[in-house]
A = this chain, B = another copy of it.
């Protein structure tokens, strides 16, 4: 796949619009989410997530996120055709963004969201620092 120069194509010098230019689509943060939660994932693992990303889109997003150095792609230790994706520190630093989405959704989409997420949101509200650190130190 060709990943054309994603940077140097920003709409403005605003940090918010620039972040959205890089990973402000409907899939990138869900890939990051899976990696925060599971640590490592394969192509097939990502494909299995509830949102049902198509393989074309998944392939495209993994390439872009790797090009942005938000994730690492490593060989599986025993299976040559499988790759293991994981977060770089740069990618892991998106976790606080994700956490704020969780808090907002817990407040305003509460009846719609899954029970474990509600608990996570509750922990975040009670002790943000601690809950984030729990995930972010490795």
Interface residue ranges, A against B (CB under 8 Å): 7, 10-21, 24-26, 29-30, 33, 49-52, 90, 93-94, 96-109, 112-114, 117, 121
The dominant DSSP class at the A interface is helix
Identical copies in the complex = 2
CA distance A8 to B33 in the complex (A): 22
Task: Report B-chain residues with C-beta under 8 Å of the C-beta of A104.
Answer: 15, 19, 93-94, 96-97
Do A102 and B24 touch (CB < 8 A)? no
Give CA–CA (A107, B91) in the complex, Å. 12
Contact check: which of B7, B15, B113 meets A121 at CB < 8 Å?
Answer: B15
Chain B residue at smallest Cβ distance from A32: B16
Chain B residues contacting A105 (CB-CB under 8 Å) are 15-16, 18-19
User: Which of B20, B103, B114 is within 8 Å of A26, CB to CB?
Assistant: B20
Cα distance A9–B20 in the bound complex, in angstroms:
23
Q: What is the distance, in angstroms, from A69's C-beta to the closest C-beta of chain B?
A: 9
How distant is the Cα of A100 from the Cα of B18 in the complex, in angstroms? 13
